[in-house]
Structure 1
């Protein structure tokens, strides 16, 4: 049996699912894309190639091996994009929760069934159909569960709106001892610089008490200010619109001291080192063309 344990984003990682770029399928048509950034790269002829993405993910495997982390991969589905394992399920405490994902991505969930089946049946949660949630919108911080959401009346028309208020309520009911705090995110189907696809595209806690944050990702300034007060301004690295577009908040913590980050994030990486973090730099810019980065492609199962 797999004994799951996730209480926050930064405790020492022991086991993780890393997505895969193997058999990623043909370059999609514009109408098959789930986000505006992928569409931009399709139009520009710069959509990422499978071999480049495989190479980038192998760099991350090497870092995990260095820190003695057990790495699971999804079973390969032919011609299917399976990079973003954060979307398909998420762990809170000792429970694994299956995301109600975009309908045409259901088969991605099947690819981690072998892990799902190793979890105690009473710790496997399937949310009711009306609850939409993806792991990129769910950020754990000890006594808090932070959830990115969108409640606008145009929710059904926004392929970039992935987590609804029904899911927020369901998660609060599942974990009544936690404080669940939701944040309305800015969404756009057409402008990647005005679109916070998930909460981890504009916010992520790091270390013991720090956070990466982007103000414009939040629809309500008061919710952004709440996070600034919670973490304190001196502990926050505020990223620019361009840095959010480049996915600077989507790094991944192996521990409270060690963070995997993209090599090109020079301003962030130097701030992290000045704060005392060890930064493991990898090349991940091809994967980022699909509006996801390191946190999006990882599903942590066990942290100390």
Structure 2
């Protein structure tokens, strides 16, 4: 049995699901793309090819092996994108919560059945149908659960709005002893530089009390100010619009002093090292063309 435990983003990682780019399928049509960045690359003829993405994911797998992390991979579905494991489920404390994802992605969860079978059935939670929530919007920080959402009236028409207020209320009901704080995120179907697809596209804690943040990702400045006050303004790395577009806040922590980051994030990686972090650099620029990066493609199961 797997004894699930995840209470924050940065404690020592022991077990994780890493997505896969094998048999990733053909380049999607614009009508089938879920986000503006993918659409941009489909139109430009620069959509990533499978071989490059497989290489990028193996670079991450190699880092996990180096740090003796137990890695689970999804069962391969032929010609299907299974890179973004964070979308389909997430762990809070000892609970494995299935996301109510876009209906045509349901089979991604089935491809993790060999992992789910190792979890106590009492700890597996499937939210009711009205609840929309994805793992990229759920950020744990000990007593806090931060959740990205979208409060616009056009929520039903925004394919880039992935977590609704019903999702926020559902998490509050499951974890009454936690401080659950939602953040209203900017969404755009047409401009990737103005689209915070999930909370981890504009904010993520690193270490014990530091974080990476993008001010303009929040629809309400008070949400941004809340995090600045909580973490302290000198403990945050403020990314630019272009850095948000390139997914600089979507790194992934092995522990409180070790961060996996994209090799091209020169400004961020320099700052991290100045703060005393070990930065494990990997190439991930091809995968980032689908508006997801390192946190999106990992699903932590156990952190010490």
TM-score, normalised to structure 2, is 1.00
Which residue pairs with 2:246 in the alignment?
A: 246
Deviation at 1:118, TM superposition (A): 1.2
- 2:292 equivalent to 1:292: yes
Deviation at 1:289, TM superposition (A): 0.2
Which residue pairs with 1:201 in the alignment?
A: 201
Counterpart-to-counterpart distance in 1, 2:83 and 2:158: 22
Moved more, 5-14 or 151-160: 151-160
Which residue pairs with 2:266 in the alignment?
A: 266
Deviation at 1:82, TM superposition (A): 0.1
When the two chains are superposed, the root-mean-square deviation of aligned CA atoms in Å is: 0.4
Counterpart-to-counterpart distance in 1, 2:246 and 2:125: 33
Which residue pairs with 2:148 in the alignment?
A: 148
Counterpart-to-counterpart distance in 1, 2:100 and 2:116: 15
Q: Secondary structure at the match of 2:255?
A: coil
C-alpha distance after superposition, 1:222-245 (max 9, x if no partner): 010000000000100000000000
Counterpart-to-counterpart distance in 2, 1:27 and 1:256: 37
Counterpart-to-counterpart distance in 2, 1:22 and 1:87: 18
Counterpart-to-counterpart distance in 2, 1:146 and 1:8: 11
C-alpha distance after superposition, 1:76-95 (max 9, x if no partner): 00111000000000000000
- 2:140 equivalent to 1:126: no
Counterpart-to-counterpart distance in 2, 1:152 and 1:241: 22
TM-score, normalised to structure 1, is 1.00
Which residue pairs with 1:224 in the alignment?
A: 224
Counterpart-to-counterpart distance in 2, 1:29 and 1:109: 23
Structure 2, unmatched stretches of 5+, are none
Q: Secondary structure at the match of 1:63?
A: helix
Structure 1, unmatched stretches of 5+, are none
Deviation at 1:114, TM superposition (A): 1.3
Counterpart-to-counterpart distance in 2, 1:268 and 1:72: 29
Deviation at 1:99, TM superposition (A): 0.1
Deviation at 1:113, TM superposition (A): 1.2
> Between Structure 1 and Structure 2, how many residues are aligned?
304
Deviation at 1:116, TM superposition (A): 1.2
Counterpart-to-counterpart distance in 1, 2:152 and 2:271: 36
Counterpart-to-counterpart distance in 2, 1:191 and 1:261: 24
Counterpart-to-counterpart distance in 1, 2:139 and 2:117: 24
